[in-house]
Structure 1
């Protein structure tokens, strides 16, 4: 089932945020608890069918933000000194956040497994953020993530089916 969810996603998700403004506005009108419950249920349903290792597009195309505790944890796992880790893998973006210098992620293995999985950054641990509380706060980001993650796309499309 996982591969089926991924197959048409890339084509169907192009411009998702821009092309779904009405749907976005409709979701914003839901009560916070109702929105969270719908996301959480669909997240559980989707990830029961889908294996992220079949895709790993997030690791191939985007970078998480590395907070100081992430930098320390990953550099320790790699047995590197923090300054060496930063110089080797990270740079500060226009917002002053540490992000990866390149993609795909240098910690992504040939089998789509993360070689620092137990020590991975917080943003990677929480991605794609569809099971968190107060989804309304990140709804815009969620629509943007539909272009990166087939699971998010599937969750939003299932939510659209329920709403329409």
Structure 2
């Protein structure tokens, strides 16, 4: 990552070890205090972490492709919506469209995204470290903490102010 000083080399292992503490914090911590801190913690984390050095999210998980995303991406790729769906997407257990494969078919070798300007809203918002989603969707946040170094950094900071 961009600044190794702020991120332990074994951050994923540490994150797994801290899952119970994170869960307790997210469920029982002072929500107003945490929400107020999120924008600054988010900015601080992303000032230290370069997503292009990681791309774990694109390599391991799929965003949901909502209808406006499908429409926008199909137009950008000059494809019919059905063609985009047939080539790249499948329905998951929640009846959401997700990628058929990982890593993401739109992830390039240099960890950039071939549809970045038109990417799904889930990709734009990931890892939700500046939103109430971080507190409301605890299981998602816990999973993200083991995938995304920025989520790890934000949660570690939240533990200190809790």
Q: Distance in 2 between matches of 1:127 and 1:31?
A: 23
The TM-score, its normalising length taken from structure 2, stands at 0.89
Greater alpha carbon shift after TM alignment, 48-57 vs 133-142: 133-142
Q: Distance in 2 between matches of 1:6 and 1:105?
A: 27
State the partner residue of 1:11. 13
Unpaired segments ≥5 residues, structure 1? none
State the partner residue of 1:99. 98
Number of equivalenced pairs: 160
Task: Indicate conservation of the 8 Å contact 1:61/1:103, yes or no.
Answer: yes
Q: Distance in 2 between matches of 1:151 and 1:139?
A: 16
Q: Distance in 2 between matches of 1:61 and 1:3?
A: 23
- Over 3 Å counting, the alpha-carbon distance change for 1:29 and 1:92 in structure 2 is same
Q: Which SS does the other structure have where 2:137 is aligned?
A: helix
Q: Distance in 2 between matches of 1:112 and 1:26?
A: 32
Task: Indicate conservation of the 8 Å contact 1:6/1:150, yes or no.
Answer: no
Aligned pairs for 1:69-80 (under 5 A) are 69-80=68-79
1:76-120: CA deviation from partner (whole Å, max 9, x where unpaired) = 111111111000000001111100000000101111111100000
Q: Distance in 2 between matches of 1:93 and 1:37?
A: 34
Q: Distance in 2 between matches of 1:157 and 1:90?
A: 35
Q: Distance in 1 between matches of 2:116 and 2:31?
A: 32
The CA deviation at 1:144 is 1.5
RMSD: 1.9
The TM-score, its normalising length taken from structure 1, stands at 0.88
Unpaired segments ≥5 residues, structure 2? none
State the partner residue of 1:59. 58
Dislocated runs of 4+, deviation >4 Å: none
The CA deviation at 1:134 is 5.9
State the partner residue of 2:116. 117
Q: Does 1:2 align with 2:2?
A: yes
The CA deviation at 1:3 is 5.3
